[in-house]
Structure 1
Amino acid sequence: MKITVERSGGFAGIKRVWTAEAASADEEQRWQPVVEACPWDTVPRPDRGFPGGGGPDRFTYNIRAGRHRATVPEHSLTGPWRTLVELAREAAEAAAPRKGRQTPSG
């Protein structure tokens, strides 16, 4: 299962994308309860009048997890949504190579 979170909006309008991959059966068993805890059938409705529905200078999160899809405005990123986003971000950042990291020259 692949989990992708795309955060857009905010003051500077900078887009961030975090991707976590549950490649093994054990990893998928760890992610499955987190993904299934999210209320995919009752995704919060975005506020009208603002792109992405989050309001001025707010973030919007486009979340994909396996067959599930949702767009969640920042003000609704609570409970299981927040847990899923935070875990995906942590997993993606842990898997990413460190910038500026030097290797020992023996």
Structure 2
Amino acid sequence: MKVVVSRSGGIAGIRRTWEVQVDEQPDASAWMALLDTLPWNDVATEAPQPDRYIYRIRCAPHEVVLGEQQVCGPWQDLIDRVRGVIEPR
């Protein structure tokens, strides 16, 4: 299973993408538990705020788009874990 986090926007508008193969991680079961707790279907659509980041998180069959102000709790945990595994491209 692959998790892809893309961040765009901000003042410079630069896009960064991080990608992790969950099955290849030494703690794959912890990754799966985190992915199972995410409220994939309960994300409210909010208008983007000026000069703030937008995150797109994909983990088939799920995909969400979150404004920076919506990134908290388990979403923040996931983004931090993905960013901690690999350098952005």
Instruction: State the TM-score bracket (shorter-chain normalisation).
Output: 0.7 to 0.9
Compute the TM-score of the two structures, normalised by the length of structure 1.
0.75
Tell me which residue corresponds to 1:58: 52
**Residue 9 in structure 1 maps to residue 3 in structure 2:** no
- Gaps (5+ residues) in structure 1? 48-52, 97-106
CA drift at 1:45: 1.2
- Gaps (5+ residues) in structure 2? none
Tell me the SS of whatever aligns to 2:41: helix
Q: Which structure carries more helix by proportion?
A: 1
CA drift at 1:34: 1.1
- How far apart, CA to CA, are the structure 2 residues paired with 1:56 and 1:17? 20
- How far apart, CA to CA, are the structure 2 residues paired with 1:90 and 1:66? 21
Tell me which residue corresponds to 1:78: 72
**Residue 90 in structure 1 maps to residue 84 in structure 2:** yes
Opposite residue 84 of structure 2, the aligned amino acid is E
Q: Which structure carries more strand by proportion?
A: 2
Q: Contact 1:44–1:73 at 8 Å: present in 2 too?
A: no
Kindly tell me the number of residue pairs found equivalent between the two proteins: 88
Superposition misfits of 4+ residues, deviation over 3 angstroms: 24-28
Between 1 and 2, higher relative CO (CA 8 Å, sep ≥ 6) is seen in 2
**Larger Rg, first or second structure (1 or 2):** 1
Cα RMSD between the aligned structures?
1.8
